[in-house]
Every structure is written in C-alpha cells, then in structure tokens.
Chains A and B, each alone.
Chain A
Amino acid sequence: MSGLVRAEWIRFRKRQSIQIIVLAVPLLAAFMFLAGASSTGPEPPPFDAAAVRADLIAQGFGLGLPPDELGTALDDAVEAQRFPVEQMREQYLLRRSTFAFPQSMVTLLGSGTLVLFALLLLVATSLGDEFGWGTIRTTLLASSLRGRLLLLRLGAVSAISIGLLATLAVLGLVLPVVLTALGTRHPDVPSLNLAGLGVLVLGTLEAGFVIVAFGAMATLLVRSGSLTLVVLLVYVAVEAAILTVLIRFDAFKEQDGLAWVLDAFPVRGISRLVDTAGRVASGLPRFPGEPVPTDLSVAMVPLVALLVWGAAFLAIAYRRFTRMDIVE
C-alpha cells in the first residue's frame, strides 16, 4: 500500500494543473474576502439627533409654526429619520461583522463552493487525463488492484480538500489581521456557535465527498475529464428542472409534508446545508432585528441525504472501475 501512496505522490507533486488548482482556491478566496470587505465602504456615522435637528431648521422646517408646536414637530421629524439611519448603520456593522474574526472563518468556509468546484476539477483532471493519455493502461499493467488504486486516488483528492479547507480556516484567522493593518476597524462580534461550526465543517466535508464521488463516477462513465464538467452542468440543470416541477405541488411546499424531499437532492442539499450551518455558526442574523438562528434541524436531511448520495456515487464508480474494459 505504501508503494501505491508513493506512486500517487510522484504523480501529484509535479502536476502543474493540480498545483494551479490548489493554489488558486486560497488565492481566489482571499481576493474575494478582501474585495468583499473593501466594498462595504466607509462606516456610516452614528445617528446625531442635534445635527439632524439643526439641518432641518436650516432647511426651514416648521417655518410659521408656533414655538411650542415647532418643538414637537422637530422632535417627530428627527425621530422619523433615526430609524432608517440606524438600521443602515446596523446593516453595515452586520456586514462588516462577517469579515471580523472569528466570523471571518465562517465566511471563508462558506466560500466552500470554490473548494467543491476545485475538487471536481481535481477528480476530473486526475482521473480523466489517465484515459486521455492512456496511462490508465500503463498503471493497470503495473498493478491490477483496481479498487485500491481508485480509492487511493480519491483519498488523495480528499486529503487535498481537507488541506484546502484548513487553508481557508487559516485565512479566516489571518485576513482580519490584514484588514486591521490596512486601517479597517472591526465591530464587536458575538462568539461562534460551535455546534453550527461543527455542522458547517462536517457538511462541507460531506459535500466534498459527494463531489469527489460524483466526479469519479462521471469521469469513469464518460472516460473524459472535460466531459465530466459538462455532465455536472447537465446534472445541475436536470435537478433544477425536477425541483421546479416538484415545488408546484402543495405537498412539497409544506414543512410538515414533503418539503424535506427537496433538501435531499444533492445540489440543493449542499446549498441548504452550508447556508443553514453557516448562519447558525456565525451567530449573526441576516438583517437587523432578525432573531439569531440556532436551529440546525433543517441541516439534518441534507446531512443524511448527502451521505447516501456520496456512497451511491462511489459504489457506482467503484463497480465501474473494477469491471470496465480498458480500451485506451
């Protein structure tokens, strides 16, 4: 087994396309994080009632009103402006909170779509090129342990995915410091919901497992890495079409009915799982005034369904690889 691991290491360590994919993920994630943080603009000043009052008076507000009525009218007018300004400020602070530590870790882990796409590329290229180059034949001539070779390859890709997620977590630690060094003031943020963070990490890993298994299955079925990407696009469109049809039925709209079935589909399940767990983990509401979400039960259906999907895809890939004729 150690020989197969060493062989895999030789394959991967000098492979430029893999190096590029592995480097691109943290770089892109960091760029998107910093660009997102800078796009929030300057911090709106706190609501200044005296300044608003003076501004209103300067604009001729309540001209001609008796002094006792003018005071009340000005108070009402000032208060009327307080709510939108304070809400805008709260919204701003909420947005900025996602870039402050430790919420920054959730934000970066939430950009796991990038990791998932990278994983699909890794599987598609590392397996697909074996067919394109014909090296699948050379490899299987050297060892006929097909099942072991496949699992090792998928294990290598999974190890890379864990490495990428760890890198994103480290970036979540480092980038807020970079922002502070650049003069950004972070708002006070609540502590993370550890249960939510756990589900987020678990869900992202599980999503990675599904993507790796799907990529392997598709690549082995079509014997091409590039076609695998087409297969994924087709699959996403088909799933969207099925969901669009299902959602027209009342039974699939009711939470007590069959709504959970929709979350059992892979793409929607991944999205639902990461979104729910991410919001719970961050301890932040989506908008000011919304209660902080703590309910992780919605994530349970995707968690279980994704495990089943991943196992099914992997089983098909395994069976296909161990039985397929190598004509390359």
Chain B
Amino acid sequence: MKNKLLIFSLLIFFQVFVLNKIIFFDFLILSPLIIILLLYKYKKNSLENLLFAFFIGLAVDIFNDSLGVYSMVSIIIVYFRNFWILKIIGEEKTSELNDLSIHELGNFQYFIFSYPVISLYFTLLVLLESSSFLNLDVLAFILLSSSLNYVFMLVFQYLFLESKLSDEWG
C-alpha cells in the first residue's frame, strides 16, 4: 500500500512539474495520470473509484490552473474504464482480477481494453483544455499521443508490476 501511494505520488509529481511543461516534437504529450486511472484497482460500481478519480484529477487541476478539466476527464475515464472492462471480459472474469494490468489481461486483451480508454482521455483533454475541434491535426495528435502513452504504460508495467510490487498493487 505504501509503495502504491508512493508511486502514485511520484507519477503525479512527474506529471505536474515536468511533463506538463514538455511537448515532445512540438506535438506529443506524455501523461502519467492515465496510468494511475487505468491501473487503479477495479471494483464494479465502486464509488471509491469515482471519488479517487475526481480528487486525483482535482489535484492535477490545482497545479495546472485548469480547475475542473482534469477532474472531469478523470471521472469520465474511470466510469468508461469500469464499463469497458465488463464489456470486454465479462462480469465473471472481472471479479477474479486483482488489477487491470497487462499481466492479468494478456497482451491482446490489454490492448483492446486500454487503447480506447487512452484515446478517449486525449480526445477529452483536447476538447476541454485547448477548446480545439476535431480536425486532422487534432486526430493525429490524439492517435500519436495515445500510442506514445500506451508504450509508456507497457514499459512502466514491465518495470514495476512484475517485481514484488505487483503483489501489493491490487
């Protein structure tokens, strides 16, 4: 539990103080918040999931002067994530899951589960934070940033979730 809190805090710190200021190749952004939202333990119809998402989004908003944007995106993502995982693997299997990681779901199912959620995250961010409408540039940004963050998330899970930490993550 301590490790989980520490990693969540480090990821948020990394998002707020480092990655919020960097746009890779003037085009791509890396957002560790999506890792937290996707990997946070799953419980069907859990109020705790929603409240956690709201407050962690609010924390990012406070540092980012974007009050409401990340909190709204976070609760939509967690709501959609909880709905989407049920559609993909069914209610029976979800009750057996410790967490929604690649180790539990497998490569293919994890891609089907996580990529749409990450894409939705960046679509909502673009719409709310930049007030941009969907055009080719914006679509390219969503697609490429989603892919970059998907790869980042895989690396993160292979680095941290296979270790002893994986036992404590659920």
A binds B: no
